Structure formats: structure tokens, C-alpha cells
Chains A and B, each alone.
Chain A
């Protein structure tokens, strides 16, 4: 039911999704045949993402002597899967910072997620739980389901958040289920799985809000505890101790309880918490996410905290809203404003003139006087439009334009060059360097504004094209995911989750070819549950299904990683053992037989146990194809059944047959 509702959410095309580069990475990593170089190239195409990734890699790897300076190094130190997850998570922020749900506080959502991410990373390093960079992404995305519901149902979700009378987190979940047939936790878990993140992520995300608990002492319970602790610290950083109250005494008590529950010295824990708050602010500046003024966690614990950080955020948000309202009121040219424009001009009067006109029509203007500074701004902030004077120190206008065109995002930047040269050669030089337009100084301000309208039209077209391209990439990625699922479904037995007969025969053929080519041994173990029909007849098919599932679990636990366990159909299983001779395969078969016999199946008051009969066959020179191997194993199972069941029989082509048990 949940997966069906989630599929419907996917079809709306409104779920939060990563940027174009993020989707590309997602696509690349759908299969197993991607390379480090491919991932590196995809990430490097987005300079802002690269910078953030390297920052995280360096902060996560603080024990290293040499800083990580390239995506390639990050991949080697952190591992390709981690880098892929980090790139995916960070690219999500850039594309989903704001949204249409009016009652959903996007600033607060990302601020809290960022705090959780930083806290999870630092706690991971100190408590040695999980991989710090992976924990960062888990912290960042643990509550992604809330953002998803706000994105897919902006109006209904706003109404729910504003008017619904629900009681606490559990009430919110119930309210969500009654309105959307799915709650934000389930949406989040499905999304993390859809993006191919490790299953631990989904499980920890399901439990971090405290509604479900993993068994103590497991890896999952450690990760779950880590994310819960990270969430508490993030909320304290943000200024609240729970979702309902902000009393300083409760904040202090909550922090002291958390501190006492960790196996760290109080002073050290205070230092870690302060360091988390500091890094949270730094990340906030980098990602343009609002954060709070720092406060000492030691003071918080002692009850001597000076200011309520929550107040600071509210004040800041309210000031931003006022500013936004003022800007809105001043916009005289609706529809063509709001771009980020970089002005590169070392003549103060000209710079002031351009800045004044642009700011007045609602554009966000950054003014720099040097060309090299301008290039840095382009790399970090990716402005929509660059207006540059020809003669600027550091890097002149033409060199700057050439450099901008070398950056993948810079190819779409509209570049307007200002020059006092009026000769045709200057025009040719400028357009050869890649400028989009050319304006002779001193310019008439009215002409500048008119030219800007052309730039805005070009930018709008470019944004539209990019959105369409992004949509295509998303569709493509979704198709890839669907195809992977279909491929997987076609080769998987739905009841046990084991590879099915189709997969078994394909894998057997490959193993046979390798064995023949390399001259290495190989064996197969065919097995059949004894008296399975009687189990079905006596306890019903549901118990029969549980027996099949439990038997498959026993098989997977006993077999080695390189051995393939498959369900051939009915109560029949096959294990392919590449590299194993008859002795090793026989030993494996015996381990399986003993494990299955010892296992007691319990289901709704029913208790039963089953045995299995196994046939082992190894490749012999007289065999010409893989079917011979299967036939020999099948014959051995038949003999095992005939001779009393619950035993292993090995097919001996050139020597007397051996039996066990």
C-alpha cells in the first residue's frame, strides 16, 4: 500500500530531487559499471558542489595530515559510494531551498537538517559509529519526507500545518495518513531507497523521531541513537529542546540528559557540542542557510545561557521579510527582475551608476573591482549575468569572459562587456572571447536598461531550457531506476527474495565457462525440503511460505559470499559454489542440512521443523555442459530421498557414491 501511494507521489514529478549533476550521479551509479573517473567528472562539472564536497571530505577526515584537494582524492579517502551519497545529498539543498508550501518553514527545515548533519558527523567521529561523511548525509536527509509532502501537496500540507488539531508527532503522522494515505516518515524511507542509499539510512530515518526502536546492541541501534542525539543537539543549536516548548530550563535538562547518556567526559562533550554549533554556522554561510549566534553549551548545561537563540532567528527572519517586502514594493519592472548580476568595474562612478540602476529594477547586484575576484564570484555564486568593463585589474574583461566560458555553468551566463573602444576589431575580439553583448562607454543608462531586458529574456529562455533538460534527465533517471527494478524483479523470487531459476541458470552458465577456461573446480548443491507437501496440508500454505522463507535465510547464513543461493521453484533450492571441489561442497551441504534441521519455525502458535535432502555434484572432465552438472546433482537428490531423506549424497562419476547422515 505504502509503495503504491509513493509511486503515485513519484508520478506527480513534484518530489524533491537533486540538481542536474545530482541526477547524473544517481544515473551513473544505478549499475555496477561506473568508474571513479566518471563520478569525478560529473561532480567537477558543478564547482559549488565540488567545493562543498571537498569541505565535507576534509572536515570528515580531520585526522588526515594532507588536506583533500580534488574529487579524485576524496573518492579514494572516503570511498566512491560515500562520495556519491554526499554529492547527492548536497545537490538536493541547492534545488530545494525554497518551495510553494506557505506554512512550511523552509529556512528552519534546512537549518535543522544541517545542524543534524553536522552533529551526526562529529558524533560519528568521536563515538566511532558509522562513516562520518555518510552520517552527515543521513542527518541531512533523515527528515526528507516532510519536505516531500510539502512539495507534493503544498496547499493541503500548509492547511494541515496551520489548522489541523493534532497532538504531537504521532498526531501529525496520523493526520498525514488520513489526508495523503502516507506519512512523512514512510515517504522519506521510500525516497532514500529510491535514491539507492544504504538500507540503514531508511531504517534510521524511520526511527529517529522516536516512534519505533531497533534491537539494542545492533549496528542499526547505534546509528539510530547517533541520529537521535544529533537531532537533539541541532534543535538546541536552533533554539528549542522539543517541538512544543522552548523553556531554558527544559533545554538545559535535555542537554544534560543527552550528555549523561553518552560515554564521553562532560567537558569533552561540551567542546564537541560547541564545535558542532560553530561548524553549523560555517556550513550555513556556505549554503546560504540561516543559523544562530553561538552560545556555550557548558553555560546551557549550567543554566547560565544568556540569550534565546530562537529569538535571534525570529528577529532575523522578520527582518528578512520586511526587506523582501520593501524590495517587492520598489520593483518597477515586473517580470524582468530578480537576477543575480555581477558587475566588474574599477571605476567607482560607473560601478555605482550600474549598481544603482540594476538594484532599482530588483536585481541582486554584486560589485567587484578586479577580474580575478569576479571569477571567484562566478565559480562560487554562479550569477545569471556578468557586466564587465574591458580594462579591469587582475584579469581584463576579455580574459574574464574566456575563463567564464570554460566553466560548465558559466557557458549559460549572459556576459555584457563595457568598453570605450569603438573600432570593429574590438567588436570582433569581444565576440570571439564569448561575450553576448557589447556596450560602448560612456553608455546611456536607458540603453543599458534596454540591453538588460534582452539579457533577461535570454536568461529566462536558458532557465526554461535547463528546466526542461532537468526534467528529461529526471525522467531518464526514473526510467533507469524502473528498469533496474524490473531487471531485479525478473531475476528475483518474490517470496524469499532469493535469485530465481532464471538467474540461477544464467549464473551457472557463467560459472561453468569460468571453470572450464581457468581449469578451476566448481560444484553445485541441489536440495529439496522433505515432505513439504505435508507441511502445507497440515498447517496451511501460509506456514509453508514461512518455512520456505526461513529455509532460504538458513541457506544464506551458512553459505559464503561467493556462493550463489537460488530458489529453483517449489521447495527446491540450488547453491552454486565456484572454486569449490567435491570435499568443500560436501562440507557446505552438510552445514546447510544441519542448520535447516536445527531450525524451528514458529508462526502464530504453530511450531514445526523440516529437513532437507541434498545432492552435490562437481565438474568432471567427462561433463560437456552445465546441464550435466545439474543432472548429476538432481540424481543425487533423488538417491538421498530414496535412501531415507535428511541426508547429503555426492555424485561420484568415477568412484563409489558417498552419503552422509
Chain B
């Protein structure tokens, strides 16, 4: 399933920059390094979550998929990565509903959302 299909017509931005600006606003100028660190931590952890979801799917472990999707959804939301957060939420719901096949299909969309988000975040920082 490609990303557009996964989004099911929801008009979401790839990256809500206000979240990142908010991080800067609270801390002031000197937190520029902090925001970059945040992006690094997020991207590193996101890879771990995606790996977890893939392994869970291969092993038929829906609880593992659900846990990893929930973690990534929250992290993505904190970072303003709306598209990625939306796809993760959908995967979480699918796994909770026991729809293993749907989960597998949406993992491809998740990978695509992650790649685009990563590019956007790297550009932003």
C-alpha cells in the first residue's frame, strides 16, 4: 500500500514546523543544538520502532506491532511529523483489530512516510 492510499484522503502535512519552532521558542536561541539532538534521537528511535514492527509482522506478533506503532506515533506527533504519526496510528488500530495482513500492507506506507519525514527534518535542521 502506498502512502497516498494509506492516508485515505486525509489532508496532512508531512512536517508541522510549528512543533519544531515551539521547541526553539520555549528555549530561545541557545536550544538550536537541542532541536538537532531531538531530531537525531527521534530518527534513531523511529528506525528501531520500524524494525520492531517488521519483526513483529514476520513473527505474527500483533502486540509487538501495536506497541512499536504506538511509540512511533507519539514520537512522530511530538516532532510534528503528522503523516508518519497518522500512518502509525492506523497500524496500531489494525494490529489491535487483529488485521495482520493490513498491518503488513501499511508497513510499506510507513517506510515511505519515514523516508520523506527524515528528508524534511534533515532539511529543516
Contact = CB atoms under 8 A, between A and B. Distances in A.
B75 interface: yes
Contacts of B22: 444-446
Nearest to B43: A349
Interface stretch (A212-220, A353-361, A522-530): A353-361
A635 to B, nearest CB: 94
Q: Tell me what chain B mostly uses at the interface: helix, strand, loop, or mixed.
A: helix
B55 interface: no
B74 A420 contact: yes
A554 to B, nearest CB: 79
Contacts of B74: 347, 349-350, 420, 441-442
A352 interface: yes
Given A348-B41, A442-B78, A353 B71 contact: no
Interface in B11-52: 22-23, 25-28, 30-31, 34, 37-38, 41-42, 44-46
Interface size class of A (residues with CB under 8 A): 20 to 34
A164 interface: no
A350 B38 contact: no
A449 B74 CA distance: 18
A393 to B, nearest CB: 10
A350 B73 CA distance: 11
Contacts, number: 64
Contact of B26 (A347, A349, A357, A441): A357
B26 A449 contact: yes
Contacts of A350: 74-75, 78
A346 B49 CA distance: 12
B38 A349 contact: yes
Contacts of B26: 357, 360, 445-446, 449
A352 B23 contact: no
A441 B77 contact: yes
Nearest to B75: A349
A3 to B, nearest CB: 57
Contacts of A445: 22-23, 26
A74 B22 CA distance: 54
A420 B85 CA distance: 13
A297 B71 CA distance: 54
A330 interface: yes
A210 interface: no
Interface string A447-469: 00100000000000000000000
A350 B27 CA distance: 16
Interface in B68-83: 70-71, 73-75, 77-79
Contacts of A357: 23, 26-27
Interface in A399-451: 420, 441-446, 449
A387 to B, nearest CB: 14
Interface of A: 330, 332, 346-350, 352-353, 356-357, 360, 391, 420, 441-446, 449
